[in-house]
Structure 1
Amino acid sequence: MNSIVTQRFIKCHNKLREDNRIKSSRQFAIMLDYLPQSLSEIMKGRRDVTIELLRKAIVLYKINPIYLFTGEGPLFMSEESHKDFRVLTIVTDSNDDEKILHVPIPAQPGYANEPGDPAFTKDLPTFSLPDYKYKVGTHRSFDVAGDHMEPTLFEGDKVVCSFLDPTLWVSSIKTNYVYVIITRAEVMVRRIKSVMKDENQVVLCSDNNFYPEHTLNLGEIREIWYVRAKISPFLPSPNNINNYLAEEMFMLKQTLTNQSRLISGFEDKLNQILPPDKNNPT
């Protein structure tokens, strides 16, 4: 039996045919760059719809993703809601399990510009984590850039995040929690201090007190990711660090002492080789 998402997808397909927006299931499959035979298997209940097929149908026919995944709302999006909708590109393994896409610092300007471009995201590294919470929903990881979030997060740390649907931004953002905010200009890790619902704005702050708070319109935001975990470089024990620093200081002091001796010896040899200055007797 088809999954509930596949059943809703079939219902949307049938509605498209009723409204004469498509002439046939074959045309529907070809428009979505999908094999008509495979679509026939879906329609007969022998196969479930794929994530990629859903993505293409949402973009081309404005099928409402909220309806597909929750059963709520209309089958299709309005022009206004479709204009604001952004397709979230995902990567799956051979078992169709979704993987975590990592966005390193060098790739972040490109990601901010085109976060949903499959041609861009296919070159980004992917990985999986064993915890079950990373098996449900869409996740990304981002390198932390700069010192805005010190001492909570340092440059080079990685944050693992879950996707926050745009329809839930106003209602589900947790104040004083850390999020990754994607605008057209940058990828930034900030703490959301407050949500101003009437103004449709959020107030962002850094853990580093050097940086002031600033306000951002929700219309400027492309994606919001809720930070669930961080991955930091492993540091040896404090005792080992202290021993290492003491050894470094000792070696530095020894090097300076040896160099001072060499310079003194060099000066003595110069005095022996060069004749004394008669105009400046010592």
Structure 2
Amino acid sequence: MNIGNNIKILRKRKGKSQEEMSLELGLNRSTYSGYENNIAQPNLENILKISQYFGLTIEDLISKDFSSFKELDWRLITEQSEARLKGHSLRVLATVVDINRDEVVEVIPEKASAGYAAGFSDPEFFIDFPTLSLPFLSSNKKYRAFPIQGDSMPPVSQGSIVVGEFIQDWTRLKSEIPYILVTKSEGIVFKKVRCNEGTSSLVLISTNLAYAPYELPMSEVLEVWKFVCYVSRTLPDFQPDENGVLTAIQHLQSDVKRLIQQQRDPLN
């Protein structure tokens, strides 16, 4: 394997020191240095971490000889990486149309959500699914509705249906915005997303603070849908704002004072 020399070349192209690289990868400095100097070989977990950091496939990292690369080679491998990031390597999006040949919003039933990652490219997967019609959705965009499990994203509760807009170009993802992600290992995930600059991963954040944020490699992602709205059979509990309550009390006190004053001096 050329992995040690390849890592060194990639680091230098990024203009990073070994100290910076080891910190950003979460590795011990001596461990990282050992990789570059071919004293030790990274395990599979660290190979995956390094390949994701540089936006490369594991195959490219361990099988190619970057010392022989010319600028054209670098440009080609960069374009391939960007294509993966934008979702160009995804399977074709299957969709359902009505009798007027207009696309409909497929509602993924809860029982079918577990198999969605395997069947989403097959049009027959959606044939018997219910559909949804909302007048404010654009006819120029593709939407789909997904069931939500768990309590990690309040006010969206267990059993709610979340409607998402299909996103083809993943470079358009915006931080702190909710997305529905279809992933290889976790299935359908609904989270706020933070774009991890300089790496090929996303940080997924729950609105329920009891759930810690975690990192998801872009290589795990199959589809991305931007949150549009949700449908729920329950009304979220309303917690009044403390400042709003204080203001309301102050207004009430002012009204009481005014009434008392009017009673004391009815001629005014």
TM-score bucket of the superposed structures, by smaller chain: 0.5 to 0.7
Corresponding residue to 2:110 among 105, 120, 126: 105
Structure 1 residue 114: Cα displacement: 2.3
Q: Which runs of 5+ in 2 are unaligned?
A: 1-79, 239-268
Correspondence for 1:158: 161
Listed as ranges, the matches of 1:103-142 within 5 Å are 103-131=108-136, 133-142=137-146
Correspondence for 1:183: 183
Is 1:89 equivalent to 2:94 in the alignment?
A: yes
Partners of 2:215 and 2:190 in 1: how far apart? 14
Structure 1 residue 98: Cα displacement: 0.6
Q: Show CA shifts across 1:118-177 (max 9, x none).
A: 22121221122212x332211001111111112x21011111110000xx212x112111
Code of the residue aligned with 1:114 in structure 2: it is G
Listed as ranges, the matches of 1:47-62 within 5 Å are none
Listed as ranges, the matches of 1:241-256 within 5 Å are none
How many percent identity over aligned positions?
Answer: 31
Partners of 2:157 and 2:222 in 1: how far apart? 24
Partners of 2:139 and 2:234 in 1: how far apart? 25
Corresponding residue to 2:153 among 149, 165, 185: 149
SS of residue in 1 equivalent to 2:145: strand
Q: Show CA shifts across 1:33-72 (max 9, x none).
A: xxxxxxxxxxxxxxxxxxxxxxxxxxxxxxxxxxxxxxxx
Code of the residue aligned with 2:227 in structure 1: it is V
Code of the residue aligned with 2:224 in structure 1: it is I
Code of the residue aligned with 2:182 in structure 1: it is I
Aligned pair in 2 of structure 1 residues 154, 218: CA closer, same or farther (>3 Å)? Answer: same
Structure 1 residue 235: Cα displacement: 4.9
Is 1:223 equivalent to 2:223 in the alignment?
A: yes
Code of the residue aligned with 1:89 in structure 2: it is A
Q: Show CA shifts across 1:4-61 (max 9, x none).
A: xxxxxxxxxxxxxxxxxxxxxxxxxxxxxxxxxxxxxxxxxxxxxxxxxxxxxxxxxx
Correspondence for 1:208: 208
Structure 1 vs Structure 2 CA RMSD: 2.5
Partners of 2:225 and 2:202 in 1: how far apart? 14
Partners of 1:95 and 1:84 in 2: how far apart? 30
Q: Does the 8 A contact of 2:109 with 2:147 survive in 1?
A: yes
Q: TM-score, normalised by structure 1?
A: 0.50
Partners of 2:88 and 2:164 in 1: how far apart? 25
Aligned pair in 2 of structure 1 residues 235, 219: CA closer, same or farther (>3 Å)? Answer: closer
How many matched pairs?
Answer: 154
SS of residue in 1 equivalent to 2:124: helix
Q: TM-score, normalised by structure 2?
A: 0.53
Partners of 2:128 and 2:216 in 1: how far apart? 30
Correspondence for 1:73: none
- Runs of 4 or more consecutive aligned structure 1 residues displaced over 6 Å after TM superposition: 80-83
Q: Show CA shifts across 1:204-242 (max 9, x none).
A: 011111111110111110001001111111559x9xxxx
Q: Which runs of 5+ in 1 are unaligned?
A: 1-77, 239-282
SS of residue in 1 equivalent to 2:195: strand
Partners of 1:197 and 1:124 in 2: how far apart? 38
Partners of 1:176 and 1:83 in 2: how far apart? 24
Structure 1 residue 197: Cα displacement: 3.8
Aligned pair in 2 of structure 1 residues 195, 234: CA closer, same or farther (>3 Å)? Answer: closer
